[in-house]
Amino acid sequence: MLNLEDFSNFTTEQIRKLREKTNKEVDELEARLKKKTLLKFSTSNDELLRQLTEQLYISNKLSVATYKKKQINGSINPYQSGKDVERLEVSDVDYKTIVVNFGNTTIIGSEKIYELEGSGIVSELMFKSSTATVLNRAYGVRIMSDNSISYQDTWDNCFNRSFHEVDMACWIDGIRNYYILEFQDIMFAKNLIIQVYGSSASFTDIYLKYFLKV
């Protein structure tokens, strides 16, 4: 087990080699986690996430150690300021949680509702609309991950598919009177785009929660 407080005693070359080794392990863990998600394994990803978190923490500490050795502000990519490096020193992981809530929204036709650049994981994306009219389930959702389609289908088709899919659910909440369409565990390495198309729906809420690598 590495003593994370002893990196100051390492030479610049030792830190560089350890960073290369750690970054390679991080890449391998991310690839394994993405493969498990894409193949929709039913087993838990908790152990992979735990290992990934530990390696990212070590990588962060090594970045700080390199920064201190070089004493060049902004030299460590992607952290571009002394303030960012200060934040990095107290951070246990390099993912941040972001929650976006769109509230009441009416979409007629097609509309891009969210786009971002970076690497991360969509924890939950939920579309909620009232059952007061069937027009509120007359829409389709297209999710583009790294310029490839992860999901593209109408509410009705998603409803039929949801009985045998793991990371997508679609149902009618008869108690609270909502049409619900929900997606989980969508990974992206470069970008993410969420679109609604063919819509006549008024949404009570569109809720998005994701983890973004920083």
Domain with residue 154: its CATH number is 2.60.120
- My answer on whether 86 and 102 are in the same domain is no
- My answer on whether 89 and 129 are in the same domain is no
Q: Print the domain residue range for 143.
A: 97-213
Residue with tokens 């679109």: 195
- My answer on whether 142 and 169 are in the same domain is yes
* pLDDT for 78: 34
- DSSP, collapsed to helix, strand or coil, labels residue 92 as coil
* pLDDT for 183: 95
- My answer on whether 140 and 191 are in the same domain is yes
Which amino acid does the sequence have at 17? Answer: K
- My answer on whether 181 and 209 are in the same domain is yes
Query: Cα(127)–Cα(113) distance, rounded to whole angstroms?
Result: 12
Question: Given 64, 93, 122, which residue is the final one in a domain?
Answer: 93
* pLDDT for 40: 47
- My answer on whether 85 and 152 are in the same domain is no
* pLDDT for 143: 97
- My answer on whether 113 and 86 are in the same domain is no
Query: What are the 10-residue block averages of pLDDT along the chain, 214 residues in total?
Result: 52 72 73 58 55 61 54 35 37 74 93 91 94 97 94 95 86 94 91 96 95 86
- My answer on whether 110 and 198 are in the same domain is yes
Tally the domains of the chain: 2
CA distances from 4 to 55, 59, 61, 80, 153 (A): 12, 10, 7, 22, 48
- My answer on whether 48 and 107 are in the same domain is no
* pLDDT for 94: 72
Helix axes 46-70, 12-38, angle to 10 degrees: 150
Question: Given 50, 73, 93, which residue is the final one in a domain?
Answer: 93
